[in-house]
Structure 1
Amino acid sequence: MVVTAGLDVGGAHLKVALVEDARPVTVRQIACPLWQGLDKLDAALAEARPLLGNAQRFAVTMTGELSDLFPDRETGALTLTARISDALGSEARFWMGSRGFGTADKARRHHTDVGSTNFLATATAVGLHLREALLIDFGSTTADIVPIAGGAPRVRGLTDAERQATGELVYTGYTRTAVMGVANEAPFQGRVIGLAREYLATMADVRRILGADLSGVDQHATADGKGKSLDESATRLGRMLGRDARDGSAEDWRAAAAHICEVQLRSIHDGAARVLSAAPLASDAPVVAAGIGADDICEIARRLGREAIRFGALVGADDALVPWATGCAPAVAVALLLDQG
């Protein structure tokens, strides 16, 4: 039985999925702070090697070329293509969006199609199962919103710049986004407080305060480099309001966190409404929820009056694997597409 590995090489994580007989069988996310150097990618690939050793074919997609490690996207795409090809060998095939898969040489010739087109892979995989749908992939850093019609992605933009202008890319993340990038103010003890415009807290802190279990998905350092307990998250959020954690009750901090989370959800909801206004889908077309923030996308689907389907369930993952297959959707998608191609 041929096993295909899918790799999604991001600026913060390496995501690896194994597909066998057209079904995902293993999925893993590995921290890869690429902005700190290419050695972090080497280390992540080494950590993934026990999984990759079970595969005969390799499908690769990337967004890591956006890292500020590189002076521009072209350099990033070319560098990562070479590095990954050296690690995986000639069997590696690179996702190039509408061009499909190609060798490392072809990927270098079409580097603009290689970088940051993982959303097209996920949407293409969705299109194998649904004729019409709205894919929303809410990851640690961004939210991709992709309409699918006729079993294929129907996007107005391909580059980040184009997609940010159309609403198809909302640059806000489930865990890594700084709170100052989400909201300007928050309620606290009956008053509205302007938030500090400093990197003092992240949305991971907000979600911990709201009770989310981030074990396994929040793999990077906190804003102050300290721990990830509820109290430490409240301390960091408190700094955003010019306060210490002891200045408020647990409910005070939950109320502030809930407001900030709501502002973020509205931004994704607004992006979805904008996308739907340009590519109207049938009223019964579902929302496919992907990314580590899939629970929040299910809430957005409810607000849109649409059924929500988790990506992992859609592509046939076992129940126990659905959360990770959903959270690492592009890695699963490129593996499935190469496996079935």
Structure 2
Amino acid sequence: MDMCFGWDLGGVNLKLARVEDGQIEAVLQSPCPALAEPRRFDLAVEDAMRIVGDAEATHAITMTGELSDVFASRYEGVAYLVALMRKTVGAAARFYGLNGFVDAHQAIAEWETVASANWHASAAFAATVEDCGLLVDVGTTTTDLIPFKDGRPCALGRNDGDRLTEGELLYRGVVRTPVMAIAGQAPFKGRMQGLAAERFATMADVYRLTGELPGDADPFPSADGRGKSLGDSATRLARMLGRDTEDVDFVAWKALAHFLARRLLDQIEADAREVIEREDLPPKAPIVGAGCGRFLAVAIADRLERPYHDFADLTPCADDVHGMVARCAPAAAVARLA
């Protein structure tokens, strides 16, 4: 049996996909908040290996975890994660870089092509199925806007800094992003008022109130460490306005959430339009949606009057993992590419 495991080592989530004979059979996502110490990565990998077992397989690995605050530099992060996976799965480890797969030694030598290359893997796989299109991967923390055509990604940025410059990366997602990063003002009682520049609430609170956030998309502590009911989320949003939920009817807090959700959607749409125009993608080139926030990719496709294709529909996968394949696109992509 031909088997491959695809790993996406993130600083927020570890994602793992298992491919058997060309079909994705299993997908795992595990929170990996490695802000305190590198050992958090080790524990997440150890937990995942309980599922891997002793199966003989190729291990295709990509990462974003080198950006974690626990490392003094991106190079240090890449070196740590490469060593961890080399120790864990041995010579079966293959690391995805912008120029293809490399072994552990090459991954260290060419670390800048390996660091945060998971977006490239997802677009590279999409380009093996679709003639051209725009990958819109909306996650907990970031949004990738990656054009592809002629069988390959055609992004101008090669790293996160350059992609931020080119509008191919927005450091905004549907869970962890502080509300203060989305808007400086919001309507309240018929007037615009300023929002607090404080992490009182996150976009997870916004999308809970709009009803769009998948139930298992937010495994992280809330901004105030309290619950995640609609009332709790409204309370945190009220703090952003320096107010209490009792100041107005509950419907007003839902209206505020919808306003903030539209602001983020507007920001993604603006960058998507620029990338599409720059690359002259034809009108029928689809939006390929991925990530736990791909409901925004669906909305972008509707606004741009383009077809929408779900990432999970690009590859054979078991019915019970269809949603997770789209949510864990980089892990699925490296497994299929390998």
TM-score under structure 2 length normalisation: 0.97
Aligned to 2:132: 132
- Show the counterpart of 2:289: 289
Amino acid at match of 1:81: V
Map 1:271-282 onto structure 2 (within 5 A).
271-282=271-282
1:72 alignment partner in structure 2:
73
Displacement of 1:81:
1.0
Where does 1:122-271 land on structure 2 (aligned, <5 Å)? 122-271=122-271
Q: Which residue of 2 aligns with 1:43?
A: 43
Indicate the RMSD between aligned Cα atoms, in angstroms. Answer: 1.2
1:55 deviation in Å? 5.7
Do the aligned partners of 1:147 and 1:153 also contact (CA within 8 Å) in 2?
A: yes
Q: Is the 8 A contact 1:131 1:152 kept in 2?
A: no
Contact persistence 2:204–2:213 (CA under 8 A)? no
Letter in 1 for 2:91: S
1:107 is matched with 107
- The DSSP-based 3-state class of the residue aligned with 2:284 is coil
Provide, for residues 46-101 of structure 1, a one-character-per-residue CA deviation record: whole Å limited to 9, x for no partner. Answer: 22123222461111100111111111111111111112221222211100112x11
CA distance in 1, matches of 2:213, 2:266: 22
- Which residue is equivalent to 1:97? 98
TM-score (norm 1): 0.96
Kept in 1: contact 2:136–2:288 (CA 8 A)? yes
Moved more, 319-328 or 150-159: 319-328
Q: Secondary structure at the match of 2:60?
A: strand
- Between stretches 174-183 and 19-28, larger displacement belongs to 19-28
8 Å contact from structure 1 (residues 187, 255) kept in 2: no
* Deviation by residue 1:151-187 (Cα, 9 ceiling, x = unmatched): 2111111111111111111111111100011111122
2: distance between equivalents of 1:310 and 1:318? 15
Once the two structures are superposed, residues 281-326 of structure 1 have per-residue CA deviations (whole angstroms, 9 ceiling, x without a partner) of 1111111001111111110011111010000112122443221100
**Structure 2 residue aligned with 1:57:** 58
Q: Any idea what SS the aligned residue of 1:172 has? A: coil
- Contact 1:289–1:310, Cα closer than 8 Å, also in 2: yes
For 2:57 and 2:15, locate their aligned partners in 1 and report how far apart those are by CA, in whole Å.
17
Q: 1:238-281: CA deviations, max 9, x gaps?
A: 10011112222221011101111111111111111111121011
Residue type of the alignment partner of 1:79 = Y
Distance 2:23 2:130 in 1: 17
Instruction: Work out the CA distance in 1 between the residues paired with 2:102 and 2:244.
Output: 54
d(CA) in 1 for partners of 2:185, 2:51: 45
5+ residue gaps, structure 2, are none
CA offsets per residue over residues 177-227 of structure 1, 9 Å max, x none?
Answer: 000111111222222221100011000011111113433221111111111
| Code of the aligned partner of 1:75 | E
Q: Structure 1 residues 55 and 265 mapped into 2: Cα distance closer, same or farther (>3 Å)?
A: farther
Paired AA for residue 229 in structure 2: S
Equivalents in 2 of 1:205, 1:215: separation in Å? 12
Contact 2:213 2:293 in 1 (8 A): no
Percent identical among aligned pairs is 40
| Counterpart-to-counterpart distance in 1, 2:39 and 2:72 | 17
1:23 and 2:3 matched:
no
What secondary structure does 1:214 align onto? coil
Which runs of 5 or more residues in structure 1 are unaligned? Answer: none
- Tell me if the contact between 1:139 and 1:173 (Cα under 8 Å) persists in the aligned partners: yes
